[in-house]
Every structure is written in structure tokens, then in C-alpha cells.
Amino acid sequence: MMIGTCVWLLGTRLGFFTFLGEATRTYELQDLLMLSLCMSLGLVAASVRKSLKLRRAMRDRDGAEAQAESVARHDALTGLANRRLFRETLEARIQGGSDAAGVPRIAVMLIDLDRFKPVNDLHGHAAGDAALCVVADRLRLLRPAQGFLARLGGDEFALLVDPGDDLEVLARLAQGIIASISQPIAWEQGHLEIGATVGITTATEECRIAEALLHSADVAMDQGKRDGRATFRFFHLDMGHALKARARLEGELRVGIERGEIEPFYQPVVSLPGRDLIGFEVLARWNHPQHGILGPDAFITLAEETDQIAELTWGLMRKACADARQWPAHLQLAVNISPIQLRDPRLPERILAILTETGFAPYRLEIEITETALVNDLEAARTALTSLQAFGIRVALDDFGTGYSSLYHLRELRFDKLKIDRSYVEAMRLSSERAKLVDAIIALGSSLGLLTTAEGIETGSSVDWLAGQGCTYGQGYLFGKPQDKGITDELLVQWTDAAGRIVIAPSPMETTESRSGSNPILSAPPVPDHVAA
Ligand code: C2E
Ligand code: CA
Ligand code: CA
């Protein structure tokens, strides 16, 4: 209106309307009429301008909304769909098409990377991100035409495909995915190596809900991980049953820990070559009310996965320290600590509290940690190691040689002892290559000023050879299997000689075996060439 009024004012002042004067006179139109005409024109112009502006704002808003939608449904790093969009697509496809029996034609593949965490930890997050992007690109290439690919989070990807009529096709696709992801990924001067485990599920009459499908694929993938990784598994109902059994065991373990059903068993450790007992490794056993004595394979991983490992370990350590206080004061105890526990910044404090509570001297305690703990968080391990050693507690690197960068960790952290893994000790009896490795590990240990324990010694010939190479301690069935407190008490009495020395003497069978030469290992001693020379 303002514009119209102004136009009219200007028009009348400047005489723009004189040419209209005739017309107004002719048609006897008044100034007032002219004014309202101009005002109407102004009104139309203003509203056109406003509507154009409004349309532009709406277009901008729609664009921003679409962008926000896209961001909310895509993974920023790889550009793939995220979990939310994957679920929506899965639900839409479930609604979308079914076969004659009314079952949706859907297969879900869950792809979980193997060894991704060490890449992140050892090479940094930039390397981890680069690896994820390469994996995403490789998966894009392998995705079937109608397939829908997503990164569900972390190192977990998912692929939604038509199951076709032949499960073999899905199996081949999974194999292709695993093979492709396992190819080295170039990074800086070297390369990164990861793998993948795939869980596959297809919609069935019973299982046709998005949540259930994702869960079944997850269960199948978990099974693949347990079966050794770098493999694929199809979900089947037995896995569901296994899951239920696991849930039951988890509950029983919780109660078991509370009731003190987890008991320490003691395996002797001797010095070489004299076989003097220097102490025991504490190995957990579950005295289950229905199933009897269960080994650690049945419950340690479960305890780790269900957050019960700390409580389990502290209970076990308390009992072991109380038991060992009644034994000769020079006998030591070695306790296994799970990698997860090293993340607890108060770990050294907690251990010290148990030692104080039970009156067990710190210098009698050794903590065994595996390499996995170091790979997960080297800095946390370094801090824990330093504090434990400051309290006088020794730290041993367990299962040496089974990790993938043992030397790196030995250089980075100051251990007191190396435990050579049983697999080496077993194999050295059969292959001179392995024997050379064991020899090299012992030499490495002594060059770093570390004590060495060979695990899993089962034959007398291994003892002589290991002692000859300078291995400090030995542990294995040859000297004794893990036993409970009662039997250990009796054995201690048996092993103690008149002078009070505790020695595990060679068994008569061992000596006969040596003399007869019937042991194939003795007839072909595992002495490495360069040592023999
Ligand atoms: P590990 O720490 O390497 O313990 C040595 C394992 O080798 C024990 O198995 C022991 O019984 C077995 N072993 C020792 N000598 C011989 C031998 O001469 N021949 C053979 N064939 N085996 C031998 P176990 O007791 O079944 O323990 C298995 C693993 O479970 C342990 O391996 C350790 O990693 C874990 N574990 C046991 N107790 C605990 C615990 O309290 N806490 C944690 N975090 N892990 C534990
Ligand atoms: Ca151990
Ligand atoms: Ca070990």
C-alpha cells in the first residue's frame, strides 16, 4: 500500500498523470480513484515479492531438512547408510514383498571386522578410519544389484540382500566379502591387516521382524567369532538355544561367584635344572553344584563378557593368598589377570588391598598378563605395570609368542618374566625349527634380563634341553597338574625332603623312559643346529 501511495504522490507531483488527465476527465475519474488504483498495484507487487521470498525460504528449508535427514541416516565417515536407515529399509522390505508362503524374501548379513581394534590402538585412529573407508569401498563393489549396504557402527557393517533360491549363493558372497576384506590395506609405508566374520540369517515364518533378523544375524556372527573368526555362519535355531543356555550359565556364575564356588587350583612351578619348587600358578576352577568341577574355558570368557571377571579374580586371589600364607614363605603365587581388568586404573590399589587384608607379602605375588591386554591399551598397561612393580609385585608376560607383536611389547614395557607358550614347548619336541625359536626366545629373555618359564612341559627330555638353553623355570604336567588346596597340601609334604628342601624329583617312569630310549623325542633330540655346533 505504501508503494502504491508513493507512486501516486510522485505521479501527481511530477505530472506523470497529465497524459491521463484527459482520460480522467473523459471518464470523470477522480484523484481518489487513481490513488486506489496505484495502491492496488502496489499491493499486488508486494504480495508477489513476498510469495517469491516465501518460496525461496521454503526451498532453503526443504534443502536443509533433506540434508539433516541425510546426515541423520548416513555414516559421516564412509558415506554408507547408518543403522537407522538400515532398519527402516529392512522394515520397508519386510512389508514390501513376500513369497507364496507369505515370508519376506530377505537375507541379512552382519559383517564384523576382525583385528580392527589393534589397528586403531597400534597405528592410531587415522589408520582405523582409513581402514573403515577401504572396507566400505570394497563392500560397495561386492554388493549385489538390489543389495542395501550400511555401517551399523564401530567395525560392524550389514548387507541386506535377496536370499535367492540357493543358499550357496549367499555363502559365496560371504566368502567373497571375507576374502576381499582380508586383503592388506596400504597405510603409510606399510600395510594394515584386518579380517571379517559374517553372520547370515534369512527371514522365515517364525523370524520376520527387523529386530529378530538383526539379532539372529548377530548370534550367527558371534558363533563365527567363537569358531575362530575369518569365517561365516548361517543362523540356525540351535544357536538360539545355545544363547539361552549361556544366559542361564551367566546367572549361575553370578550366584556362584557370590557363594565362593570359584576355587583356586595350584600348578607347581619349578626352577631348572634342579626342580626345586618355587611356587604355583593359580588356575580358576568352578565347583558347580550340578556339573562338578569346570575348567576356565567354561566360564572365564563368560565372566569377561558379562562384567564379572573383576569380582571373580578378587575372590580367587583372596582365597589363594590365604591358602599360600600357610605354605613355606619362599613359595610364590602367580595370578592371571584378564586383559579387561587392566583398564581399571585402580587395579594396583585393589591388588594391594587384598595383599594387606590377607597378610600376603607383595614380593611373593606375580601377576600374569597376556599380550591382548597390551594391544588393547598400551598406556594403561604401562601405568599398571609401573605401579605394581613399585609395590614389589612382579609382572610376567604370559603365552609369549602367541601374540602378533611380542617383540614390540617387550621393548615398550619392562616385564620381570616371560612365559613361553605351551604350543612352542609342545612343538619343539617335534620340529627343530620350533626348537630354534624356543632357543631364540630364551636368549632374548636373558639378553633383556628377564626370567623365563617354559609352560606345558610333559617330558623329561624337554626339561634337560630347556635347562641347557638357560631357561629359568618350568611348569607342566611333568611336574604336576593343577590341584586343589587339599591335594596341594599333601603334595607339599611329599615333596619336602629331610633337609626341608621342596623338590619335585623325576618320576621312576621318566627315568626308565630316558634309559630305554623308547621316547621318539629322545632318539631325535630337538637340538637346533647352531646350538649343537
Ligand atoms: P594359562 O594361563 O596359559 O594357564 C596354563 C594352562 O595350561 C592351564 O590350563 C594348565 O592346566 C595348562 N597346562 C599346564 N601344563 C600343561 C601341560 O603340561 N600340558 C597341557 N596340555 N596343559 C598344561 P587351564 O587351567 O585350563 O587354564 C586355561 C587358561 O584359562 C589359562 O591359560 C588362563 O589363560 C585362563 N585362566 C585360568 N585361570 C584364570 C583366572 O583366574 N583368571 C583369568 N583371567 N584367566 C584364567
Ligand atoms: Ca597364565
Ligand atoms: Ca600361559
Question: For residues 100 and 503, which has the higher predicted lDDT (pLDDT)?
Answer: 503
pLDDT score at 29: 57
Q: Where does CATH 3.20.20.450 sit in the chain?
A: 245-532
Around ion ligand 2, residues with a beta carbon closer than 5 Å are 336, 368, 398
Rounded to the nearest 5 percent, the helix, strand and coil shares of the chain are 55, 20, 25
Q: What span, in angstroms and rounded, lies between the C-alpha atoms of 444 and 229? A: 31
pLDDT tens digit string along 220-247?
999 999 888 999 999 988 887 877 888 8
Question: For residues 68 and 529, which has the higher predicted lDDT (pLDDT)?
Answer: 68
Q: Ligand 2 centre and the CA of 396: distance in Å? A: 9
- What's the order of all strands across the beta sheet hosting 232-234? 148-153, 156-161, 107-114, 195-202, 232-234
What are the beta bridge partners of residue 286?
A: 262, 294
What long-range pairs does 165-168 form, CB within 8 A, spacing at least 24? 167/202, 167/234
Average pLDDT over residues 425-447: 88
Q: Ligand 1 centre and the CA of 527: distance in Å? A: 27
Any ligand 1 atom below 6 A from CB of 482: yes
pLDDT score at 337: 96
Q: Hey, what's the cell of 431? A: 620340529
Burial of 482 (0-12, 13-18, 19+ CB in 10 A): buried
Q: What span, in angstroms and rounded, lies between the C-alpha atoms of 296 and 305? A: 14
Around ion ligand 3, residues with a beta carbon closer than 5 Å are 398-399, 455
- Cβ burial 230-263 (10 Å sphere, 16+ → b, else e): bbbbbbeeebeeebeeeeebeebbeebbeeebbb
Query: Given the CA of residue 265, which atom of ligand 1 is nearest to it?
Result: 25
Q: Where does CATH 3.30.70.270 sit in the chain?
A: 83-235
pLDDT score at 54: 83
Query: Given the CA of residue 399, which atom of ligand 1 is nearest to it?
Result: 3
| pLDDT at residue 25 greater than cutoff 80 | no
* pLDDT band for position 204 (cuts 50, 70, 90): confident
pLDDT score at 305: 82
Instruction: List alpha helices for 203-359, DSSP H.
Output: 210-226, 237-259, 300-305, 309-324, 347-358
pLDDT score at 190: 87
Residue nearest to atom 11 of ligand 1 (CA): 482
- Does the domain spanning 83-235 belong to CATH 3.90.230.10? no
pLDDT tens digit string along 339-396?
889 888 999 999 999 999 999 999 999 999 988 777 767 888 899 999 999 999 999 9
Q: Ligand 1 centre and the CA of 24: distance in Å? A: 111
Residue nearest to atom 34 of ligand 1 (CA): 336
Average pLDDT over residues 109-123: 91
Going by the DSSP 8-state scheme, the letter that residue 413 receives in this structure is S
Please, what CATH class does the domain formed by 245-532 belong to?
A: alpha beta
pLDDT score at 137: 98
CA 233 to chain centre: 19
pLDDT score at 46: 84
Query: Given the CA of residue 309, which atom of ligand 1 is nearest to it?
Result: 44
| pLDDT at residue 28 greater than cutoff 90 | no
Going by the DSSP 8-state scheme, the letter that residue 283 receives in this structure is E
Q: pTM to 2 decimals?
A: 0.67
Portion of the chain with pLDDT greater than 90, in percent? 59
Q: Ligand 2 centre and the CA of 509: distance in Å? A: 28
Of how many residues is the chain composed? 533
| pLDDT at residue 518 greater than cutoff 80 | no
pLDDT score at 243: 76
CB atoms within 10 A of CB 61: 10
Name which of 198, 232, 200 is nearest 214 in CA terms. Answer: 200
pLDDT score at 533: 32
Say if residues 282 and 318 touch (Cβ distance below 8 Å). Answer: no
Any ligand 1 atom below 6 A from CB of 336: yes
Question: Which parts of 61-215 are beta strand (E)?
Answer: 107-114, 148-153, 156-161, 185-187, 190-192, 195-202
Round the average pLDDT of the chain to a whole number and report it.
87
* Residues contacting residue 199 through CB under 8 Å, at least 6 positions apart: 109, 110, 112, 216, 217, 218, 219, 220, 221, 222, 223, 224, 232, 233, 235
